[in-house]
Chain A
Amino acid sequence: MPSSTIPPAAARGYDDLPALLALLRSDAKHDPSAASTIDVHWVLYDRILRVAPETADDPERDRLLLSKGHGPASFYAVLAAKGFLPADALAGFGGFDSPLGHHPDAALIAGVEIASGSLGHGLPIAVGRALALRATGRSEPRVVCVLGDGELAEGSNHEAIALAGRLGLERLLAVVVDNGSATYGWPGGIAGRFASEGWTTASARARDHDALEHALLGGSPGRPHAVVARVEA
């Protein structure tokens, strides 16, 4: 599909995402992951995060750390919709000269906070970011980490969940995209893993944007917040 059928960034909405995703379609293998996260990325960038292309380097911006770098098509599509990426860049997805790979590289894309792909790296880095903001007296920016329910199996996440809870990193928000892909599941629920370490938690269906927004805006002072966003497998 020619990108000329896609409106300019300032005018793009949720309904333009399928056209942007279509530009990335060579990545058929990763499509299920892409579909599972598109609502989460859209609601975060459209309603929650205080960051725009022109403030991507502002120290007071909110930081979105995509830990679940597998299947980044929806992430790229939302970045393009919001003007962080030119829509033209999507078509080269995965090519030698493209800044967009099957796992994102922050060094190649303005506005992307971390490189990801290997699972279980984002949340520990996000904890470091939140500690840095605390150490430098920045109390406004949020550090948001998007991870997957399967990824949650990596032990490094549980190191981060424990410490963030004990230290009360209130600017930290973990969003677990739950498409039921964890091999052995999470008896007692994903939210409970966070709650037992002192986090506040909320859950929502990702397709219900108002409910997801409400969940993302939850939390209470002195505690990190985790949202389980349920999506179709």
Chain B
Amino acid sequence: MESMRERFTRVTAHALDEDPRIALVLADIGVDTFERAGVTARHPERVINVGIREQLMIGVAAGLAQEGLRPVAHSYAPFLVERPFEQIKLDLGHQDAGAVLVSIGASYDAAEEGRTHQAPGDIALLATIPGFGLHVPGHPDEAGELLTRELARSGRAYVRLSSEGNAAPHPVEQLTIVRRGRAGSPFVLAVGPTLDEVVAATADLAVTVAYTSTIAPFPAAELRAAVPGTDVAIVEPYLAGTSAAALADALRERPHRLLALGVPAVELRRYGTGRQHRAAYGLDAAGIRRSLDAFLGGGALAA
């Protein structure tokens, strides 16, 4: 199956061919991929490699946007979001310039590369900047659809690609009820690539499982309508608690308990595989189940 990154290349290459507003800004990462796709040769003025200069990558994207182009900037998540964070805050946010930022690497896809190539804090950081659509696709089809939609818009968006994901795609930019529990049942919201692990973790539990690949704007109204009882859990593939405030705010009129799972703020100092990191952070099916059992007190077993 095509990876999210391959889908990104295909969708962006198509957009460069079809829409003269689209411009791609790279900082060496991804340059070969787009050359192979032929778009660098076809659109040398709109496929811009700034070299290993990430502050400049964002500044250039802002300048392109101010002149009416639709910039896409792409790199590994830490180099796209964390290194040039003030450029994102000011050159995009404060200047009110639009851009589509597309990252790879996610929280621990690059487990063998070490902490330098991992950005579990990316979504939490970007959530501090007004107007960012934050997308965490869980399937290449979702990634493709989200990218296509955002390329046609003019605002600020972040699309967080990952090599983790789910077997099947779901509709984007809406809350999907994956499994409906009985009245008053606990509610588990899976974000992006965590869904298949959440479904496996809750197979024999009487819980409602919902899914979203967009975390900003936060689907507050849909969530209020979908939460059956008082016990609510969210499983995010990035920094634990990132969306806890938005979730608590969505449910502020209702008594509820909240469990927020995600990547903890620790220095793991391990290499290995993403799967190993997922297990170490308690985000595989077994770990999610352990946390849910502790949270629910073992009272959620299906009859």
Q: Which residues of A contact B (CB under 8 A)?
A: 105-107, 113-115, 118, 120-121, 123-136, 155-156, 159-160, 162-163
Contact = CB atoms under 8 A, between A and B. Distances in A.
A136 B53 CA distance: 24
B42 to A, nearest CB: 13
Contacts of B64: 128-129, 131-132, 135
Given A121-B91, A128-B63, 11 more contacts: A106-B95, A115-B94, A120-B55, A125-B66, A127-B59, A129-B64, A130-B63, A131-B45, A135-B46, A136-B69, A156-B55
Interface string B87-102: 1001100111000000
B61 interface: yes
A171 to B, nearest CB: 12
Given A131-B60, A162-B51, A115 B68 contact: no
B74 to A, nearest CB: 15
A163 to B, nearest CB: 5
A129 B53 contact: no
B69 A135 contact: yes
Given A127-B63, A128-B62, A156-B55, A114 B68 contact: no
A20 B23 CA distance: 42
B302 interface: no
B166 to A, nearest CB: 36
A160 B95 contact: no
B56 interface: yes
B59 A124 contact: yes
A156 B63 contact: no
A163 B50 contact: yes
A124 B91 contact: yes
Interface residues of B, number: 29
B167 to A, nearest CB: 40
B244 to A, nearest CB: 30
Interface string B31-74: 00000000000000110101101011011111111111101000
A159 B53 CA distance: 6
A155 B62 CA distance: 18
Given A121-B87, A124-B60, A125-B62, A132 B55 contact: no
A123 B293 CA distance: 54
B6 interface: no
Nearest to B48: A131
Nearest to A105: B94
Nearest to B96: A107
B249 interface: no
Nearest to A118: B90
A130 B67 CA distance: 9
Contacts of A114: 66, 95
Contacts of B17: none
Contact of B56 (A106, A132, A135, A159): A159
A32 B164 CA distance: 55
B95 A132 contact: no
Contacts of A133: 67
A5 to B, nearest CB: 36
Contact of A127 (B56, B86, B95): B56
A163 B56 contact: yes
30 contacts: A105-B94, A115-B95, A118-B86, A121-B87, A121-B91, A124-B55, A125-B62, A125-B66, A125-B91, A127-B59, A128-B63, A128-B65, A131-B45, A131-B48, A131-B63, A132-B63, A132-B64, A132-B67, A132-B68, A133-B67, A135-B23, A135-B45, A135-B46, A136-B69, A159-B50, A159-B56, A160-B59, A163-B50, A163-B51, A163-B56
A113 B65 CA distance: 12
A33 B65 CA distance: 30
A129 B51 CA distance: 18
Nearest to A166: B51
A128 B94 CA distance: 16
A132 B71 CA distance: 10
Contacts of A160: 56, 59
A127 B87 contact: no
Contacts of A120: 55
A135 B94 CA distance: 25
